[in-house]
Structure 1
Amino acid sequence: MKSSLLVFVLLAVAFCEVKANPPGHLKPLGGHRDPTGEILVMRNFPSPWVFHEEFVKKSQPLVMRKVLEKDNIPAYQLWTDKYLRENFGNIQVEIELNKKENRTSGLYQNMTMSKFVHDYQTENMYQVFELTPEMKKDFNLPLSLQCGGFQNFLFAMIMWFSSGDTKSHLHYDSLDNMNCLLDGEKEFIFFDKKYLHSVREKGWNSKGGYSTVDVESVDMIKFPQLQNIPYNRITISKGDCLFIPYKWSHYVHSKPGRNLAVNFWFHHLPWFNSSDPDCEGLDPYQNSSVPLSTLKQTDDIVETRMMFLELFEDVRSFYKGSFSEYMEREIPSIKLEDVECLDEVFSFIDKDGNKVLSWDELFSMDIRAAIDKYPKVFGQIYSYITGDNISFEKKKNQDIEISGDKDLGDLVVKNSDSIQDEDQRSQGDRPSPVKTPDDLEKKKLIKMEDDGNLVMEEEPLRSPHEEL
């Protein structure tokens, strides 16, 4: 009788523990279930067009195995500790004094590259540092980013350097990026961007763009939304590059041992410019040949425009009526009374007056003047994009600030006192004209009457040698 009672008590306790502790509770992130799905793997950099159409546009991560071993990336062979010390030893680099990321601690300091190389193997720190012009001379732009618009919208090239065993927050990035590993091994846990709302539901730091969950010991009671979200797990090693689509939540664990990576941040490119002269004659099987030192990084105006263009990534062009309908449907805060203003915004962007908005017009619009002229509607647009309440109220002699993710810096848009009309700006300040793939057929899209339907232009034909 006593033994039966003891068994009953033990079973009851076990049942209560199971009920109280959901799967993955107090285990490392990913301990709640087995990974699902697959991440595609290639043995070379895909051509820019294939990269855009199959991975960027479809928001599909991609692993490129051992591409640095056979590609023209001098740093892959050169950047030993000795080389970094002898060639860049006097450069001031930024160091975080903790191997587990903590964006609220403020434990940052600067030191020379030489001192870091001397100390990093024995000290609890890692380096996060934007490549200098001198360092860029040792790097060529990966083939996949060499044309079509990618090369014009690079945000930054960041170096990550440690003795390994570093752990990031669970976070997402507002930019696409390609992470190339020159040494070491990294493990990534990915949550598809379609689960972003669930990831952000509890414990999300909106200003920092990360979850406050402890990635080494997940409290599934405090973060119940993580219990059922499927995820992907991938490990990359020396010589590999990984494409991380924007808005995919992810956690990165650099394995113990020397760990050196450079990632290329670039704005999400909603439309591939197949008429780009840089694409002419590009062989998808050639090595990377564009030195980073020859490229110009984007300025704050490009940043702001690209945020705006995120709204239209799946749309080829608009008629006037369909533009306002689309904006009403996509942005809940826009009401019926805003339609007249949206029609004015359409006409502002439609420079040639043909009642069709094309990507060359969207890419070349004067975003500063548009925000100044229509502050209410653009405030609603940017509040929707960023998740923060943003106002473009005019303040004389002051700038209007748009706050981005902490790790991407702040985007600043000048107020009207400093704005000049697009036609008065110097040619050097204007974006390069962007052509759609079927410019020769564009006349077929133009209808002077407004029928209120979206216009979907045909996608460019694949080149026969551009195969996955």
Structure 2
Amino acid sequence: MMKSNILALVLMAVALGEVIATPPGHLKPLGSHMDPIGGIPVTGKFPSPWVFHEEFVKKSQPLVMRKVLERDNIPAYRLWTDKYLRENFGNIDVEVEVGKKENRMSGLVKNMTMSKFLHVYQTANIYQVFDLTPEMKKDFNLPLSLQCGGFQNFLQMVIMWFSSGGTKSHLHHDALDNINCLFDGKKELILIDKKYRHLVMEHGWNNKGAFSNVDVESVDMFKFPQLQNIPYNRITINKGDCLFIPYKWLHYVDSKPGRNLAVNFWFHHLPWFNSSDPECEGLDPYQNSSIPLPTLKQADPDAEFKMLFLELFEDVMSFYKRSFSEYMQREIPSITQEDVESLNQVFSKIDKDGNKVLTWDELFSMDMNAAIEDFPKLFGKIISNLTGDVILFDEKEEENIELSTEKNPEELVVEDSDSTQDGGQRSHDDRPSPVKTPDDLEKEKLIKMADDGNLVMEEEPLRSPHEEL
């Protein structure tokens, strides 16, 4: 009898030990390990482009925009009933994924007409995800926040997500910023700040697909121990809401049951806002979206590589260390001393005015295709490092690249703004206009601040007093 009691006590102790040792959230849905944190701003309108960039894009800060579609001018929000979609786009081929729980490794994607999808989606285990066709974009205007400053030139995709609800995504991050607008239904999202990416990626991360292999419905905390202490935000958006998700922020999307229709505006991360963009002149920050999507130019084919390259220089808004080549060698470990001459030539090509100071208007206007064509090995290293994939660019059969003739190209030497590099006076045509733009004044300030190869760069000019969130 005593032996049986002892055995029972031992079993109870073992069981109790197992309970105590089980981490919070084990085998429960993602986000069960702790309470969510707060701190996501909420507004009732699309911010003006300048405010959107400075307060949210630049700071990598998500933003919830409540009921903006109810008050804004995006026709599709009111038009896109199932009947309208069938009558106007029924013959369009759409991409459909089989299985409402996302599986990027073995998920089945097939095509069907919009009409057939509308016939079966309420009962079938499928959801629709595809880039809007030109015909469908006619029902859209570009959200006010993206109408100028450079955003409008780097809109990459407008993606439609459509299901009867119940879909669940991977925990993943994207290489693009995006505004997710919900036309119908309800979504719950878990957001994890990009500063915790290295923790999430410690175990079970798929580099090629940029997602975690964790089961979002039943998290194995022993297999993914790094998730136990990661803080997160939980956001719910409803019909008429939009949510800005900064690039590289990890997120998981749970679409609740019921007709669920969302559209994502995907755009390349904009590290610098072009305050002299003519499209910004006279822009009313309280107006509705008014630029039809079909009128926008297609983003340049090299836009993705260009924006990845520009992301290297986000910190230039605060500081710029010694020389371009030294900065690049520090940021891209695969770049060697042998690449320095190529880096100096790249610098000279970007430095259009020859004053040996790179400003954002020069970086932004660089011809990425020409740079890759002239320096395929160098940019292969740079882009491979930034993407995590091996990128090889074709070399020209005969490279005829003019070598730099500067004595010390690695040094930042700033000439007087009223003289040429060789000390001669500028021609009349080269002299600055008597009427200087804010960007002209900003460039002069940057040149004056250069000292012994170190350039400290201040913030952008103060915003207009009426541009408040």
Judged with a 3 Å threshold, the aligned counterparts in structure 2 of structure 1 residues 111 and 337 are, in CA distance, closer, same or farther, namely: same
Aligned pairs (5 A) from 1:321-400: 321-392=322-393, 394=395
How many residue pairs get matched? Answer: 433
Deviation at 1:5, TM superposition (A): 6.2
Could you tell me how far apart the structure 1 residues matched to 2:230 and 2:383 are? 28
Q: Does 384-393 or 298-307 show the bigger shift? A: 384-393
Deviation at 1:97, TM superposition (A): 1.1
Q: Which amino acid aligns with 1:65?
A: R
Deviation at 1:79, TM superposition (A): 0.6
Which residue of the partner structure matches residue 429 of structure 1?
Answer: none
1:27 and 2:25 correspond = no
The answer on whether the counterparts of 2:373 and 2:396 sit within 8 Å (CA) in structure 1 is: no
Deviation at 1:313, TM superposition (A): 1.8
Aligned pairs (5 A) from 1:88-103: 88-103=89-104
Could you tell me how far apart the structure 2 residues matched to 1:437 and 1:5 are? 82
**C-alpha RMSD of matched pairs (Å):** 2.4
Which residue of the partner structure matches residue 6 of structure 1?
Answer: 8
Deviation at 1:321, TM superposition (A): 3.7
The answer on whether the counterparts of 1:437 and 1:459 sit within 8 Å (CA) in structure 2 is: no
Which residue of the partner structure matches residue 404 of structure 1?
Answer: none
Which residue of the partner structure matches residue 193 of structure 2?
Answer: 192
Q: Which amino acid aligns with 2:133?
A: T
Q: Which amino acid aligns with 2:287?
A: Q
Judged with a 3 Å threshold, the aligned counterparts in structure 2 of structure 1 residues 158 and 17 are, in CA distance, closer, same or farther, namely: same
Could you tell me how far apart the structure 2 residues matched to 1:349 and 1:172 are? 31
Which residue of the partner structure matches residue 423 of structure 2?
Answer: none
Deviation at 1:265, TM superposition (A): 0.2
The answer on whether the counterparts of 2:25 and 2:32 sit within 8 Å (CA) in structure 1 is: yes
Could you tell me how far apart the structure 1 residues matched to 2:19 and 2:442 are? 66
Deviation at 1:174, TM superposition (A): 0.1
The answer on whether the counterparts of 2:154 and 2:267 sit within 8 Å (CA) in structure 1 is: yes
Q: Look up the SS of the partner of 2:326 in the other structure.
A: helix
Could you tell me how far apart the structure 2 residues matched to 1:84 and 1:64 are? 26
Judged with a 3 Å threshold, the aligned counterparts in structure 2 of structure 1 residues 318 and 224 are, in CA distance, closer, same or farther, namely: closer
Q: Look up the SS of the partner of 1:85 in the other structure.
A: helix
The answer on whether the counterparts of 1:41 and 1:64 sit within 8 Å (CA) in structure 2 is: yes
Deviation at 1:103, TM superposition (A): 1.3
The answer on whether the counterparts of 1:317 and 1:356 sit within 8 Å (CA) in structure 2 is: no
Structure 1 gap segments, 5+ residues each: 397-414, 420-434
The answer on whether the counterparts of 1:319 and 1:450 sit within 8 Å (CA) in structure 2 is: no
The answer on whether the counterparts of 1:175 and 1:267 sit within 8 Å (CA) in structure 2 is: yes
Deviation at 1:180, TM superposition (A): 0.3
Could you tell me how far apart the structure 2 residues matched to 1:49 and 1:441 are? 17
Which residue of the partner structure matches residue 407 of structure 1?
Answer: none
Could you tell me how far apart the structure 1 residues matched to 2:438 and 2:449 are? 22
Could you tell me how far apart the structure 1 residues matched to 2:321 and 2:230 are? 40
Which residue of the partner structure matches residue 281 of structure 1?
Answer: 282
Q: TM-score, normalised by structure 2?
A: 0.87
Which residue of the partner structure matches residue 176 of structure 1?
Answer: 177
Q: Look up the SS of the partner of 1:55 in the other structure.
A: helix
Q: TM-score, normalised by structure 1?
A: 0.87
The answer on whether the counterparts of 1:100 and 1:166 sit within 8 Å (CA) in structure 2 is: yes
Could you tell me how far apart the structure 1 residues matched to 2:462 and 2:236 are? 34
Q: Look up the SS of the partner of 1:178 in the other structure.
A: strand
Judged with a 3 Å threshold, the aligned counterparts in structure 2 of structure 1 residues 449 and 437 are, in CA distance, closer, same or farther, namely: closer
Could you tell me how far apart the structure 1 residues matched to 2:92 and 2:352 are? 46
Aligned pairs (5 A) from 1:40-189: 40-189=41-190
The answer on whether the counterparts of 1:121 and 1:163 sit within 8 Å (CA) in structure 2 is: yes
The answer on whether the counterparts of 2:177 and 2:269 sit within 8 Å (CA) in structure 1 is: yes
Deviation at 1:201, TM superposition (A): 1.5
The answer on whether the counterparts of 1:26 and 1:219 sit within 8 Å (CA) in structure 2 is: yes
The answer on whether the counterparts of 1:156 and 1:265 sit within 8 Å (CA) in structure 2 is: yes
Deviation at 1:197, TM superposition (A): 1.3
Could you tell me how far apart the structure 2 residues matched to 1:332 and 1:214 are? 34
1:316 and 2:317 correspond = yes
Which residue of the partner structure matches residue 263 of structure 1?
Answer: 264
Deviation at 1:295, TM superposition (A): 1.0
Q: Residue deviations 1:160-210, cap 9 Å, x none?
A: 000000000111000000000000000110110011111112111111111
Query: What percent identity do the matched residue pairs reach?
Result: 76
